[in-house]
Amino acid sequence: MTAPTEAPRPAAVDTVERRGDKTFSRLAVGAGTAILIALAAVAIFLVAQSLPAIVAPAGSFRGTEGDFWQYVAPLAFGTVWAAALALIMAVPIAVGIALFISHYAPRKLAQPLGYIIDLLAAVPSVVYGLWGITVLAPATVPLYEWLAENAGWFPLFAGPASGTGRTVLTVAIVLAVMVLPIITALTREVFVQTPTLNQEAAYALGATWWEMVRMAVFPYARSGIISASMLGLGRALGETMAVAMVLSPSAIISFAVIQSENPSTIAANIALNFPESAGIQVNALIATGLVLFVITLIVNSLARYIVNRHERSLESR
């Protein structure tokens, strides 16, 4: 996954316009416009519905004394925090799997493994949620208790440990499993495309396998890894169902990852509270949606910027 480059335009040799050409070009333009219209419609809806909540005086929201920004702050924090934890766990593993498939595994093993990874991506998030609450959460309880007892001095693992295991760390593990296939599939594609010439050259210089990977594969694939991670991050930021099911949320900002009280995420909070909301509370929830929209936009732009800068530095070499 690299930044889309402009396709070279065909030279206008044939001036005769065929009907098929015309239809196709109109269809393509139509498709391109439709996505812009859809995006604009969503943005307009979000802004229009959010305004009443954003200008509402302090104390009009349930669960907080403050104004809208105080309402959304813990949610925005929780969204980024859970997604970041997930990414920290997922990226190294995903890169490892991708590298194993592309460069280490025997061909017989590599292909089925690739299929299995793709299969993980097809599992609906509600199933991950069920797995999270029935299997993962109870299984983590002893670990969390041990952590609280032995590593409680470290702020992340401050006790008391949750009695049910439904913490932000459990959520992050579930999210990590969910984003793993995306990141793996994309990075594998990039690894495979490393020019054979570069790899052979590294060997020719006497590099070992690991040195070859470090010298030839990683530099070539760096922007691809970043893009893949950002796509994964996008999914983690917006994940609703699994978080709503697994997390034990409250309206706080806290870095402790094994307690009962965890910051909730924007998407999960909307899912949990929309059904029983009315009036200004609905506007508040939509406004949090707008905040998520903005966060996603910032993350994507940042990723695009990093990738572009990296590509430029590659070219200038």
Partner 1 sequence: MNTKRAGSLTALLAAGAIVLSGCAANETATDSPEPGATSDAPSTLSGTLVGAGSSAVGAAQTAWIADFQMQNPDVTVTYDPTGSGAGRETFQGGGSDFAGTDRAFNDEEIAAGGFQACAPDSGIVQLPLYISPIAIIFNVEGVETLNMTPEVVAGIFAEEITNWSDPAIAELNEGVELPDAAITPVHRSDDSGTTENFTDYLFQAAPDVWTFEPDGVWPLESGEAAQGTSGVVDAVTNGTNTIGYADASRAGGLGTVAVEVAGEFVPFSPEAAAAIVDASEFVEGRPDFDLSIDLNRDPETAAYPVVLVAYLVGCETYADPAKAELVKAYFTYMASEEGQANAAENAGAAPISSTLFDRVTAAIDVIG
Least distance to partner 1 from the beta carbon of 145, Å? 10
> Binding string to partner 1 for residues 88 to 127, with x set by CB under 8 A, is what?
----------------------------------------
The pair of three-digit structure tokens given for residue 116, joined into one six-digit string = 């299995």
252 sits near partner 1 (criterion: CB under 8 A): yes
Dihedral sign computed on CA atoms, order 18, 22, 23, 27: positive
Neighbours of 316 (CB within 10 A): 6
Residue 67 CB partners (closer than 8 Å, separation 6+): 56, 57, 58, 59, 60, 61
Q: Which of residues 164 and 296 has its CB atom nearest to partner 1 in the complex?
A: 164
Site string for partner 1, 36-75 (x = CB under 8 A): --------------------------xx------------
Alpha carbon distance 163, 174 (integer Å) = 18
- Residue 234 · residue 62 · CB < 8 Å: no
Q: Is 205 helix (H, G, I), strand (E, B) or coil?
A: coil
262 forms beta bridges with 249
Interface with partner 1 (CB under 8 A), residue from 179, 247, 287, 292 = 247
- For residues 51 and 252, which CB has a smaller minimum distance to partner 1 in the complex? 252
For the bound state, the minimum distance from the C-beta of residue 26 to partner 1, rounded and expressed in Å, comes to 23
Q: Are residues 263 and 253 in contact, defined by beta-carbon separation less than 8 angstroms?
A: yes
> Given the complex with partner 1, which of 207 and 241 has the nearer CB atom?
241
Which is closer to partner 1, CB of 137 or CB of 182?
137
Residue with structure tokens 């991050």?
Answer: 233
Which CB atom, from 72 or from 101, has the smaller least distance to partner 1? 72
Distance CA 51, CA 141 (A): 42
Q: Select from 60, 140, 223, 264 the one that contacts partner 1 (CB under 8 A).
A: 264
Positions 134 through 173 that interact with partner 1 (CB under 8 A): 134, 137-138, 141, 160, 162-166
145 burial type by CB count under 10 A (0-12 exposed, 13-18 middle, 19+ buried): middle
Q: Which of 216, 245, 257, 307 binds partner 1 (CB under 8 A)?
A: 245
Beta carbon of residue 166, minimum distance to partner 1 (angstroms, whole number): 6
Number of residues counted as binding partner 1 (CB under 8 A): 32
Contact 175, 237 (CB under 8 A): no
Q: Please, which residue, 45 or 209, has the CB nearer to partner 1?
A: 45
**Whole-angstrom distance, CA of residue 214 vs CA of residue 95:** 12
Per CB under 8 A, which region of 110-118, 187-195, 218-226, 244-252 contacts partner 1?
244-252
Choose among 255, 244, 300: nearest CA to 1: 300
Q: What is the C-alpha to C-alpha distance for residues 161 and 11, in angstroms, rounded to an integer?
A: 67
Contact positions vs partner 1 (CB under 8 A): 62-63, 133-134, 137-138, 141, 160, 162-166, 244-245, 247-252, 260-261, 264, 272-278, 281
